[in-house]
Structure 1
Amino acid sequence: MTPPISDTEDRTGEQETGQQPVNAGRKSVSLEHAQEPSVDKPTICVVGLGYVGLPLAVGFAESDYRVIGFDVDDSTVETLQSGTDTTGDLSDEAIQNDELTYTTDAAAVSRAEYVIIAVPTPVRDDDRPDLSYVESAATTVGSKIDAGTTVILESTVYPGSTREVLIPAIERESGLTAGEDFWVGYSPERATPGDAEHGLEDVVKVVSGQNEEVLEDVATLYESIVDAGVHRAPSIEVAEASKVVENSQRDLNIAFVNELSIAFEHMDVDTQAVLDAASTKWNFHGYRPGLVGGHCIPVDPYFFTYRSAQEGFDPELMQTSRKVNESVPAHVADLTIRALNDCQKALSTSRVLVLGLAYKPGVGDIRSSKVFDVIETLDEYDIDIEGYDPFADNDAVRDAFGIDVQETLSFDGFDAILLATPHAEFEHIDLTAVASDVAENPALIDVTGALEEGDATDAGFEYRKL
């Protein structure tokens, strides 16, 4: 079975691969309210309607392009056709634009002058990049496109993937030749779920093309919807590399402060106080220790290290940074266990409430959340764990994490509170009031230091943070 063309899937999950076209054997959800494209603007087909593709489709539709949103996930398309936003970052009104239609029928690709592919690029269990989604999407697109079409890849890939994977798959299926019969560009996605200040129109878009003419055409297309403007990369490979480097840099910096936090713990020095002092220098970069989950920062470095190793060089610093950040969940679990011990709690009878289960504040996405790894370690000590997240789907959490989930927040009887993901809703917790509900001699493990340590200790909590 070929993996589906959908960026609603987890970028870090293991997926099946194969050679069948992605729509083989599947029922099709037809186009609704089909209209003829505007005479002055081309039709665009966005392949993959997840947190990258759907905002892109909406953005072009709001600029009066005729847009076809294509995804092989029936439930996603049916939900969008019913007028419901599947990402939580847009709005139901935004996805109901008259210029935008949704379909699982790959034949719709043939109606577009531009096809933009925004599908997942996970890593496998051995941390090797899995480009089967890209190849599958390219195969389906190649089976439907007409001569004259421009195909733009937005998925995160290692340098060389567009020319080595995407183009050959399209050429094999279509019988067309890139650069003669169809054209190819690459523009890495910079989607930031849950961040209203950095939407599609607010962030500079890196664009590239297989030649100067294609580059200018792709740049003009994106300039029409991105208010912040575009950056013209000199080659497709430069654009591909820029995506993995910008997130690898963040991984490196976070690994540095995570390692500092462990070192300073051994020295009995407050890490956050050190960083606050150091940040008064004008050229100090402000990072904070924490769990590194999600679909980009813990994934993209593997694309770089994989490609670099293929060319004979192992980037040791990036590999070490990944190891450091992957070790943090176990360290957080250890902080929790030691705090419980200091509170004279027997682990096998302790109850811990985990606040925040999503991979970052302000979103409900639990895929690739490192909170799961913390819980998994605590579970080895038979600690009774419950969770609460104001954004995450409770049924999804129960299935994925295997813990009880509170529908309404309650602190009653817990021996420890683990504030794992600092949603804004948790910033104003009244610790004095909470202390009257929890068990005697409670612990508070505040992973990112979102709460005031003085307030916690005054309320009687044994306080820990990275």
Structure 2
Amino acid sequence: MKHKITIVGLGYVGLPLARLFATKYAVVGFDIDEDRIYQLQKGIDDTLEISEDLLKSVLLEKKHSDEQVGLFCTSDLSQINDSNIYIITVPTPVDKHNHPDLSPLFTASETVGKIIKKGDIIIYESTVYPGATEEECIPIIEKISGLKFNTDFFAGYSPERINPGDKEHTVDKILKVTSGSTAESADIINELYKSVITAGTHLAPTIRVAEAAKVIENSQRDINIAFVNELAKIFNLMEINTSDVLAAAGTKWNFLPFKPGLVGGHCIGVDPYYLAQKAQEFGYNPEIILAGRRINDSMAKYAASEIIKLMIKKNIAVKNAEILILGFTFKENCPDVRNTKIADLIAALQEYDIDITVFDPYLSKIQCGGYANFKSVISESDLDNKKFDLIIKAVDHNKFQGFHFKTFLKDSGIIFNLKEFSEFLLL
């Protein structure tokens, strides 16, 4: 059976996957963002996950003729009604109350429900709680399509493992978990991914197992980071350098090398809430998971308080102080600002009437949205040799290597390393 694939959602997850599949299959990339489609058809990926040359190597200007291999991007629903594999890769965020927001997933399911045919397979990659695919999404497809699940169409779940900004661990080099709603569909799905994933696949016994595996991956990281964040608070009180402690402890073969810091983004800071809410529906309150979330969500305010204490200790006037923050995105070498905790840090500092300037070379590549309550620059030259009372090393972009701290620091100025929640001393 020759597969024709449609990827629904062309963001950080969908585009790399579509590009990879397009090396061997006829692939249509579908997204409701017409501007995004326009840019992609020109070979431009604003997320910076796929280079222009790599994207153009698989791009087709027109929809496939017969079974032509390559990628055609569109926002036109009529252009995707002849596929037999539909892979949904839309975001799954939380709302302002940290409750899972599945509305993008429901909308994508409605879209697929309008066009699927008998024998088609729908695969979900978006992070969800166990049971969401079969209990929440499939009924939508059944209702709109009029087709019967596991009789007329089939489903699978293969959790995304994209690491934004990471050019080493790309989608093809990360082992892929797969699953299907029947034994036959599971084999088809597993073989499909195995044909492009060089790292191999792991076929989970059920969709719910695959969903659970994904949601605990990031929950585990969140809890481990919360632990070292708590250690940083403790050791700061003891006036012990946390990095030195972790380096010493890391000499043991089975010590896990986690570092303190702010936890933002669309995965680690979000996924634990999906598992927590589902657990609560079963009458269980997940204490460790939610405790980790509370610790990590508190770290921006903690960092702000440490900064203020350091300024007072160094006799720097807090009110109207001028601070430069290096980095705004949620992680290094990535233009993604979703759920960035640097915004929380800025908000906490501005309660003290502090003047904030942000230097992030990726800010010109992204939509800042509501993050407009500070001055921003995208290059060192834009700072115009201005002097600051304090510089915060917030996000370790490679582009910051060789940054001239002394040029932009007042004689009495200081540097704060957000990765250690402490003063950084220049050699």
Q: TM-score, normalised by structure 1?
A: 0.85
In structure 1, the partner of 2:199 is: 228
| Aligned-residue offset at 1:259 | 0.4
1:251 aligns with 2:222: yes
| Aligned-residue offset at 1:220 | 0.3
| Aligned-residue offset at 1:404 | 0.7
For the residue of structure 1 that corresponds to 2:295, the secondary structure is helix
In structure 2, distance between residues paired with 1:150 and 1:408: 47
1:341 aligns with 2:302: no
1:42 aligns with 2:3: yes
CA contact (8 A) 1:419 1:444 kept: yes
Letter in 1 for 2:55: I
The within-5 A match list for 1:315-464 is 315-393=286-364, 396-397=367-368, 400-409=371-380, 410=383, 412-430=386-404, 434-435=405-406, 437-449=408-420, 453=424, 455-456=425-426, 458=427
1:143 aligns with 2:103: no
The within-5 A match list for 1:73-222 is 73-96=33-56, 97=58, 98=60, 99-222=70-193
| Aligned-residue offset at 1:139 | 1.2
In structure 2, the partner of 1:12 is: none
Q: Aligned Cα RMSD in Å?
A: 1.8
CA spacing shift, 1:216–1:261, aligned 2, 3 Å: same
1:154-185 CA distances to partner (integer Å, 9 max, x unpaired)?
Answer: 11000000111111000000110111111100
CA spacing shift, 1:425–1:349, aligned 2, 3 Å: same
CA spacing shift, 1:408–1:427, aligned 2, 3 Å: closer
| Aligned-residue offset at 1:429 | 3.4
In structure 2, distance between residues paired with 1:424 and 1:85: 20
| Aligned-residue offset at 1:435 | 2.8
In structure 1, the partner of 2:263 is: 292
Letter in 1 for 2:310: A
Letter in 2 for 1:153: Y
CA contact (8 A) 1:183 1:210 kept: yes
Q: Which moved more, 1:85-94 or 1:381-390?
A: 85-94
For 1:71, which of 31, 47, 50 is the aligned residue? 31
In structure 2, distance between residues paired with 1:354 and 1:248: 28
| Aligned-residue offset at 1:398 | 8.3
CA contact (8 A) 2:127 2:214 kept: yes
In structure 2, the partner of 1:61 is: 22
Letter in 2 for 1:301: P
Letter in 2 for 1:57: A
CA contact (8 A) 2:127 2:271 kept: yes
In structure 2, distance between residues paired with 1:237 and 1:137: 20
In structure 1, distance between residues paired with 2:320 and 2:51: 45
1:98-147 CA distances to partner (integer Å, 9 max, x unpaired)?
Answer: 31111111123321010001111111111111111111111111111111
Letter in 2 for 1:77: I
| Aligned-residue offset at 1:425 | 2.7
| Aligned-residue offset at 1:451 | 11
CA spacing shift, 1:310–1:259, aligned 2, 3 Å: same
The alignment covers a number of residue pairs equal to: 413
In structure 2, distance between residues paired with 1:394 and 1:258: 30
Q: Which moved more, 1:251-260 or 1:89-98?
A: 89-98
Structure 1 gap segments, 5+ residues each:
1-39, 459-466
Letter in 1 for 2:46: T
1:302-322 CA distances to partner (integer Å, 9 max, x unpaired)?
Answer: 010010110111110100000
Identity %: 41
In structure 2, distance between residues paired with 1:173 and 1:43: 22
CA spacing shift, 1:294–1:259, aligned 2, 3 Å: same
Letter in 1 for 2:85: Y
CA spacing shift, 1:320–1:92, aligned 2, 3 Å: same
In structure 2, the partner of 1:464 is: none
In structure 2, distance between residues paired with 1:89 and 1:398: 21
For the residue of structure 1 that corresponds to 2:412, the secondary structure is coil
In structure 1, distance between residues paired with 2:369 and 2:279: 39
In structure 1, distance between residues paired with 2:124 and 2:181: 12
Letter in 2 for 1:419: K
Structure 2 gap segments, 5+ residues each:
61-69
In structure 1, distance between residues paired with 2:366 and 2:100: 30
